[in-house]
Structure 1
Amino acid sequence: MAFFKRELFKRELDPIERFENALKEKLAARQKLADRLSIAETELAEKRAATERLAVAGAAAARLDRAEADMRAVEERTKTWRANLVEHDEQVASAERALADAKAQRDRDTMADQIEAMAAAIERAAPGFDASATALVEAVTKATLSISDATRFSSNVDAVRREVLSAADLICWELRSAAVRTRAGNANLASPMLSESEQPLSAEIDRQLIYTLHPLQWREDGEVRRVPAFALVGLPKALLPVALQHQHVDHLNARRVQTLMHLHGSAGQSGEPDPDDPQLVDLDALLAEEQPSAKADVA
């Protein structure tokens, strides 16, 4: 009865343990073959030495025939053990590769689980943010008194709420896609999710998270910044109207952006665009062209 209980509660081995046990068994079998081969080689050396002594001493032909037959028998066994040892060496190498692959897959699964857990945590936190932001908006919109500053604050909070929720949906989709790639072993985790993460951004500039439809460039703190098409970037709000007007960017909750995100992701097609790229759009130059026409309209 105790035996059946032990079998019932015996823990099932995971893939790593199964491969480790298989490797141990193959190593043990190889060691047995190596010991047999060592004994056979020692015996073969002794048989050869004995046959050599008989031949030098001029032993009878019948005795030499028996000595040579014994030596060939041992030699055949030695060849057999040596061939078996080579075969077991290949099996050991295969078992070691299988164990290494299983460990690598375990590490990938662990990382993928952590990525998926991050996505799940964001999804759990998003409704709380939505509720808090909505409460702030309603504190103004449901009030009997209307004040322009409060109304402007409410509109800004509602815009931020929509942007954050859209960005949360987007990052959760990207995280789960990254988890799938990681689990399959073809994720490029060294590349950042956002194309602009390699470049430090000025904290003094008011920005908005936006999706690029064309490669863009603008000047910022005396330096030229370039971003590729189909990338998620923090665009200075001063450049946002002209970029939206000419359809070089679009909001994250736009239908076409969701489609482009599934097709291209959010890191851009090929890193920072070349300065000579004919498709590169200079937002500063575009803004400068728009300003004289706006002044003319006012006049």
Structure 2
Amino acid sequence: MAFFKRELSPIERFEVALKDKLSARQKLAERLRGTEADLAEKRAAAEQLAVAGANNSRLDRAEASMRAVEERAKTLRAELLEVEDQVASAERALADAKAQRDRDALADQIEAMAAAIERAAPGFEAGATALVEAVTKSALSIPEASRFSSSVDAVRSEVRAATDLICWELRSAAVRTRAGNANLANIALSEADQPPSAELERQLIYTLHPLRWREGDEVRKAPAFAVVGLPKALLALALQHQHVDHLNARRVQTLMHLHGSAGHNGEPEDDDPQLVDLDALLAEEQPSAQADVA
């Protein structure tokens, strides 16, 4: 009967290599201790012969024996230092392999989350479509039902775009995690992750320029190339002036691949020449609109 030996994993290989190096270090250390003990005896014997006034031939033999042991001890010390370096290298390799194993496990979980979202998305899409068709395919036309249908259709579009975005971000995070370039514990909440104000209606949108606007007494800012929850009162204005675009827009998909969705260069400074003040822009638009009406 043929027996097949199981192939060792990287961690097991590094553990075997480290075990071999530790065993070699222990053996060398034991040999060095024995040699140093022998050297101490040779030195003591040579000292006794010299003190006792032994003849030259005996002293020569004692010194030659002592030098031979000294050379052997010196060689063993050099070999032990080399093995010590090899042990340290093997320990680092084992630690790196374990860290990579942990990163791979975390990346697998992130990719599994993305796959689960993709599997669940068609169910949501089908449910939303059924709700819309329940109104649009009816022979009756009721304003309340039509508004409901329009709201569901808008939410469906937003969820579709948000699903594509989060799956892309999760897979990008998995790649960075495998490479050791991600620090998930220190990822700050983006504007999109922060809970929106209960009294303010928002829509997720992608910024093309750094923005600033006021919500009550609070001044909010968003960097360029970020997904933010923009108040719907400012949405049409920002879209009209090409400062933002919808998440499912083709250029937004390209920009997200280039810059991500967390913002470029962090929160903009007040003196940033590219910073767009949406409130000031709205104030400029209102007199123009009144003049057009007049």
In which range does the TM-score fall when normalised by the shorter chain?
Answer: over 0.9
Partner AA of 2:31 in structure 1: R
| Counterpart mapping for 1:208-219 below 5 A | 208-219=203-214
The reply to whether residue 264 of structure 1 matches residue 259 of structure 2 is yes
Q: Give, in whole Å, the separation in 2 of the partners of 1:196 and 1:155.
A: 26
The Cα shift of 1:257 comes to 0.6
The answer to whether the 8 A contact 1:137-1:154 is kept is: yes
The reply to whether residue 121 of structure 1 matches residue 116 of structure 2 is yes
Alignment match, 1:135: 130
Same amino acid, percent of matched pairs: 79
Q: Give, in whole Å, the separation in 1 of the partners of 2:60 and 2:126.
A: 99
The answer to whether the 8 A contact 2:223-2:263 is kept is: yes
Alignment match, 2:168: 173
4+ aligned runs moved over 4 Å, structure 1: 197-200
SS of the residue corresponding to residue 211 of structure 1 reads: strand
Q: Give, in whole Å, the separation in 2 of the partners of 1:192 and 1:227.
A: 17
The answer to whether the 8 A contact 1:195-1:271 is kept is: no
Alignment match, 2:190: 195
The reply to whether residue 22 of structure 1 matches residue 17 of structure 2 is yes
The Cα shift of 1:291 comes to 2.1
Q: Which 5+ residue runs of structure 1 have no aligned equivalent?
A: none
Partner AA of 2:220 in structure 1: R
Relative distance call for 1:251 and 1:194 in structure 2 (3 A) is farther
The reply to whether residue 106 of structure 1 matches residue 101 of structure 2 is yes
The Cα shift of 1:125 comes to 0.7
The answer to whether the 8 A contact 1:193-1:267 is kept is: no
Alignment match, 1:286: 281
Deviations 1:178-210 (A, max 9, x none): 111111111243454863168654222111000
The answer to whether the 8 A contact 1:195-1:227 is kept is: no
The Cα shift of 1:72 comes to 1.1
Q: Give, in whole Å, the separation in 2 of the partners of 1:263 and 1:51.
A: 78
Q: Give, in whole Å, the separation in 1 of the partners of 2:79 and 2:214.
A: 71
The Cα shift of 1:11 comes to 3.6
Q: Give, in whole Å, the separation in 2 of the partners of 1:192 and 1:171.
A: 15
| Counterpart mapping for 1:23-172 below 5 A | 23-172=18-167
Partner AA of 1:64 in structure 2: L
Q: Which 5+ residue runs of structure 2 have no aligned equivalent?
A: none
The reply to whether residue 251 of structure 1 matches residue 252 of structure 2 is no
The answer to whether the 8 A contact 1:210-1:233 is kept is: yes
The answer to whether the 8 A contact 2:192-2:204 is kept is: no
Deviations 1:132-159 (A, max 9, x none): 0000100100001011121121111111
TM-score by length of 1: 0.94
Q: Give, in whole Å, the separation in 2 of the partners of 1:193 and 1:41.
A: 59
Partner AA of 1:118 in structure 2: M
Which of 289, 292, 296 matches 2:291? 296
Deviations 1:20-48 (A, max 9, x none): 12111110110000000001001101100
Query: What's the RMSD between the two structures over aligned residues?
Result: 1.6
The Cα shift of 1:290 comes to 1.8
Alignment match, 1:222: 217
Partner AA of 2:213 in structure 1: W
Q: Give, in whole Å, the separation in 2 of the partners of 1:121 and 1:132.
A: 17
Q: Count residues with an aligned counterpart.
A: 294
The Cα shift of 1:171 comes to 1.1
Alignment match, 1:277: 272
